[in-house]
Structure 1
Amino acid sequence: MAGVLFEKLIRPVLYRLSADDPEVVHERTVRALSLLRGTPEVLRRRYAADDPETVFGVRFPNRVGLAAGMDKDGRALRAWPALGFGFVEVGTVTRLAQPGNPRPRLFALTDSDAVINRMGFNNAGAEALAAKLAERGKPPVPLGVSIGKSKVVPLEEAVEDYRSSLRTLYPYADYFAVNVSSPNTPNLRALQDKSALAELLSELRATSASLAQGTPTPLLVKVAPDLTDSALAELLEVCGEHGVAGLIATNTTLSREGLTGRDALVGKETGGLSGRPLTARAREVVRFVHKHTEGRLPVIGVGGILGGTDAREMIDAGASLVQLYTGFALKGPGLVREVNRSLAGWR
């Protein structure tokens, strides 16, 4: 019932009331979903699918996850499984609380099924998220935590900034996503360079090992779609040397290919582009990673998944799991149901 209300009533009303500010729609949606304190079985059956998969040592009830960015501060953790998600990634969270970039910073390009954002890691900080998880508990599905660099922290101090967030949130995460690829924090993508990434991953892996009670929590790296093949191959070499458990491909793109008409004008806004224009490139990156590593490095495929066919093609390209963000924002829980049903049994 809650899902039907979202699709047929709540979401259209939110957009009518907030046509000029998609961020208001986002905020109101997460706030409404945060009121759902349980995971009603009837709702879960409507949207979810039992399609278990074990990837990097974690068992997922299905292969459809919520990407980072939708619920940065973990406010609606009980709602997402009820809407069919088999795992949830919160964040990107930073050590220091920060407001993000000035508004407006989120732009809907409805003709292109796309979104531009320059949010800038707006979040309440790692300690606030840890306190919320300690108080309310984890969701009944695997929880990923995306960690990034605080904006005010100099690049040369980034390693300790990431390590602090890792330590603070270590008791709660089933995996960590190391976000070095957002285009909205100045110089962040420099951390994808070979030497910088090697130092960061070496320290994070050592920290993880020191905190683990048993097997260390998997570390994944989230990559940009704008890397050249040679740069991506170099990044994969570093990931292999430092025991990275998997890759998330991809983050948003700086490219504006695929935008036409009115959307081309909005496309002049700075920020990362997601949605349909990213579909083909994200799949290409997944395919490159799968081929280059001979399938040894699991990949979570994200970017431009707006239907069941997109999800299947992402799996065929080599992804083990998929994540939704822009598609979910534009289409609602019906997309989760469609993708779950499309992937059920698809190997």
Structure 2
Amino acid sequence: MLHYQNLRQLIFRFDPEVAHSVVEFVCALAPKIPALLPFLSKKFCFNDPLLSQEIDGMRFYNPVGLAAGFDKNATMVETLCALGFSHLELGALTPLAQSGNEKPRLWRHTNEESIQNAMGFNNDGANAVSMRLDKCYPFVLPLGINIGKNKLTSQENAIEDYIALAKTFSQNSDYLSVNISSPNTPNLRDLQNEAFIKELFSALCEIYKKPIYLKISPDLSIDSALNLVECAMDFGAKGIIATNTTLDYSLVANPKEKGGISGKVLAPKSREMLKQIALTLKAKKRKATLISVGGIADAKEAYLRIRLGASLVQVFSAMIFKGPSLVKCINRDLKDHLERDGFNHISEAVGVDL
């Protein structure tokens, strides 16, 4: 961590998107350097049976995954695996390649350890990424695909984009994350309604026979969120990813006027949404996989989410502020928390605070 803080000063001199592109280049290059990935794996991977779980037919050797948005185009898969993640959520991907919104569209809120992005689903398109995945799938870790609609696709035809993506990735991914909650594609959040969810999940489950999760916004009212959760599950969703970024600009001192905020300031909103969903599902005796994302920067927060019902957690922004040892630190300290509280396995801690 200490060494990264020195490097971070240099990285933060660059525009955030330029810095990310440099990181992507290095990560894409790393597998070509002999012995580098085994070295990284030895340094950053933490493997303990206490943390290993089988969920929805997938094996996760620890609970910490990478959230969508970091590796949009599956160019960093091997290197990210060597940094200790248990699963990688790639994308968001759209059927057609698109350049995203105008730059600048990515900002750091350094004092708050948070990020604001208005990227707009910039990606290489489903076919290009699918061909990339064909070369490495099946992979040693579960690979999820976060799917969204193209900016120019009308609301009426939105479902066709999601169906096309499910078909494209049916043979080279382990789960789908349905993204109708990004604030950076015009009107996308309007699709967060029960009629669309019903139609969408009914169609997707016909095509895609592996787990499908719904990723929801932290800005929904709790009642609206719970209705969407139940509707998605009624029509085939295996679980919920809570949450996406927020449009609550009061959380940071100097917000931009566009884009969603992620990072430490999102933690209370994301945690509360998880808690309410978990409580409702427990009360109705409904089984669902809950994946918590938003503001998780250390083992303490990850452990809170697990005790509130999350089987898995995902990180993104915290890695920018804390560096590549983040995942190992979370998993190592999580093991300590679990043993301190008398748990023999992580699954025993899931939901105990409900």
TM-score (norm 1): 0.90
For 1:122 and 1:40, locate their aligned partners in 2 and report how far apart those are by CA, in whole Å.
28
Among 46, 49, 64, the residue aligned to 1:49: 46
Q: Are 2:54 and 1:63 equivalent residues in the alignment? A: no
Counterpart amino acid of residue 332 in structure 1: G
Query: In structure 1, what is the equivalent of residue 179 of structure 2?
Result: 179
1:12–1:29: structure 2 CA closer, same or farther, 3 Å change rule? farther
Aligned to 1:85: 85
Separation in structure 2 between the aligned mates of residue 180 and residue 70 of structure 1, nearest angstrom: 18
Is 1:298 the equivalent of 2:289?
Answer: yes
Deviation at 1:269, TM superposition (A): 2.4
Q: For 1:67 and 1:332, how far apart are their aligned partners in 2?
A: 15
- In structure 1, the residue corresponding to 2:223 is in which secondary structure? helix
**Hey, what's the Cα distance between the residues in 2 that align with 1:67 and 1:153?**
25
Pairing 1:97–2:78 present:
no
CA distance in 2, matches of 1:114, 1:14: 15
* Identity percentage of aligned residues: 38
* Shift in alpha-carbon separation, 1:128–1:10, aligned structure 2, 3 A: farther
Please name the residue that 2:342 is paired with.
none
Q: Paired residue for 1:318?
A: 309
Correspondences of 1:34-183 after superposition (within 5 Å): 34-37=28-31, 40-50=37-47, 51-183=51-183
Following the alignment from structure 1 to structure 2, what is the Cα–Cα distance between the partners of residues 342 and 157?
Answer: 46
> What CA distance in whole angstroms lies between the structure 1 residues aligned with 2:183 and 2:170?
26
Report which stretch shifted further, 331-340 or 301-310.
331-340
CA distance 1:8–1:329, change in 2 (3 Å): closer
AA of the residue aligned to 1:13: L
Shift of 1:257: 3.0
How far did residue 334 of structure 1 move? Answer: 2.0
Which AA in structure 1 matches 2:308? Answer: A
Structure 1 residues 138 and 76, CA gap change in structure 2 (3 angstroms):
farther
Q: Is the 8 A contact 2:8 2:321 kept in 1?
A: no
Residue 333 of structure 1 deviates from its aligned partner by 1.1
Indicate the residue corresponding to 1:213 in structure 2: none
Q: Is the 8 A contact 1:56 1:246 kept in 2?
A: no
Question: 1:200 and 1:139, CA in 2 relative to 1: closer, same or farther beyond 3 A?
Answer: same
**Equivalent residue in structure 2 for 1:331, among 322, 325, 344:** 322
Residue segments in structure 2 that go unaligned for 5+ positions in a row: 339-345, 350-354
Q: Is the 8 A contact 1:151 1:186 kept in 2?
A: yes
Amino acid in structure 2 at the alignment position of 1:133 = L
Q: What amino acid does structure 1 have at the position aligned with 2:287?
A: R
What's the counterpart of residue 341 of structure 2?
none
Q: Distance in 2 between matches of 1:39 and 1:242?
A: 45
Aligned residues of 2:37 and 2:79 also touching (Cα < 8 A): no
8 Å contact from structure 2 (residues 137, 173) kept in 1: no
Name the SS of the counterpart of 1:132 in structure 2: helix
* SS of the residue 2:116 aligns to: strand
Q: 2:119 is aligned with what amino acid?
A: M
The question of 1:25 aligning with 2:19 is answered yes
In the alignment, the residues of structure 2 paired with residue 32 and residue 138 of structure 1 have an alpha-carbon distance, to the nearest angstrom, of 23
For the pair 1:217 / 2:210, whether they are aligned, the reply is: yes
User: In the alignment, which residue of structure 2 is the partner of 1:193?
Assistant: 193
1:258 deviates by 2.9
| Partner in structure 2 of residue 232 of structure 1 | 225
Does structure 1 residue 284 correspond to structure 2 residue 278? no
SS of alignment partner, residue 323 of structure 1: strand
Q: Which amino acid aligns with 1:68?
A: A
TM-score (norm 2): 0.89
Shift of 1:120: 0.3
SS at match of 2:177: strand
One of 227, 247, 260 as aligned partner of 1:254: 247
SS of match in other structure, 1:158: helix
Q: Which runs of 5+ in 1 are unaligned?
A: 209-215
Aligned match of 1:270: 258
Counting matched residue pairs gives 329
Deviation at 1:233, TM superposition (A): 1.6
How far did residue 39 of structure 1 move? Answer: 7.3
CA distance in 2, matches of 1:88, 1:224: 20
Amino acid of the structure 2 residue aligned with 1:165: L
